[in-house]
């Protein structure tokens, strides 16, 4: 299974914004199936992971709608988790941590479900999914969705933890990277990242001052990537 990032995506205008009414227990169950938690099974028994095309920029809304419908229609034995993997970037500014999330696969949602013996989607599940606004087709051939490979599942799930469960959050900069200081006493200077302190959001940058290289400790938000290679 290969996702083509250049593939034409659905129009976001086809998404319905009407929320589904549900009880607190149904809401909690849907929320649980929207992320991967530490210790979760890679694939639940009898199920596989599949890739569903959806309207661009509406991935989370489609996921939430499908999860609610699965709970309301009691189809948990046929449809498991539904995920929208994101890349999480941590920035600490003035001592306060902020985590931003960017979708890794725009226009796609990952669905865990059980197929019929002939490889087709169960009829009830097919209509539940197809009657959801903003949903396209599954990645596959001849009406049969193609199961994801193990390494694809591993990569997808690694980006599907909640922020608080994420074992490691990607930082903006890397050691050795050329940067420009945009805030503070050394604004306008350029230098090279020498050391990162992710826990405190600090970056040590080597800056040339009066012909000599000196280390300057900065908060990550105070620097920007330089245009220089």
Contact in structure between 128 and 69 (CB atoms under 8 Å): yes
Model confidence band, residue 204 (pLDDT cutoffs 50, 70, 90): very high
Cα separation, 145 vs 129, whole angstroms: 13
The answer to whether position 5 is within a domain reads: no
- Indicate the pTM of the whole model: 0.66
Average pLDDT in the chain: 82
The angle formed by the CA atoms of residues 147, 148 and 151, to the nearest 5 degrees, is: 150
Contact in structure between 181 and 187 (CB atoms under 8 Å): yes
Q: Which residue range(s) make up the domain with 202?
A: 178-225
The answer to whether position 18 is within a domain reads: yes
The answer to whether position 199 is within a domain reads: yes
Q: Answer yes or no: do 75 and 129 share one domain.
A: yes
**Is the pLDDT assigned to residue 169 strictly greater than 70?**
no
Contact in structure between 197 and 220 (CB atoms under 8 Å): no
pLDDT in tens, 9-56: 444 334 444 445 556 766 676 777 887 777 888 899 999 999 999 998
The answer to whether position 4 is within a domain reads: no
Q: Answer yes or no: do 82 and 192 share one domain.
A: no
Domain count, the chain: 2
Cα separation, 92 vs 222, whole angstroms: 10
Cα separation, 60 vs 216, whole angstroms: 41
SS3 94: coil
């Amino acid at each position: 299974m290969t996702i083509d990032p250049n593939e034409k995506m659905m129009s976001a205008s086809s998404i319905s914004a009407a929320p589904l009414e549900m009880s607190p227990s149904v809401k909690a169950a849907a929320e649980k199936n929207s992320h991967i938690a530490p210790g979760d099974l890679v694939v639940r028994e009898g199920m596989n992971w599949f890739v569903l095309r959806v309207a661009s920029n509406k991935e989370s809304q489609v996921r939430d709608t499908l999860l609610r419908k699965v709970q309301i229609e009691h189809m948990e034995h046929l449809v498991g988790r539904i995920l929208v993997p994101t890349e999480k970037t941590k920035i600490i500014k003035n001592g306060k941590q902020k985590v931003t999330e960017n979708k890794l696969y725009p226009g796609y949602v990952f669905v865990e479900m059980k197929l019929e013996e002939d490889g087709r989607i169960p009829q009830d599940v097919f209509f539940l999914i197809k009657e959801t606004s903003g949903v396209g087709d599954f990645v596959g051939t001849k009406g049969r969705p193609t199961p994801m490979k193990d390494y694809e599942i591993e990569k997808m799930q690694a980006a599907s933890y909640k922020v608080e469960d994420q074992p490691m959050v990607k930082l903006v900069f890397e050691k050795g990277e050329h940067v420009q200081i945009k805030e503070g006493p050394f604004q306008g200077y350029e230098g090279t990242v020498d050391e990162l302190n992710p826990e405190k959001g600090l970056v040590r940058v080597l800056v040339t001052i009066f012909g000599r290289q000196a280390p300057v400790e900065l908060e990550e938000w105070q620097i920007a990537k330089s245009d220089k290679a």
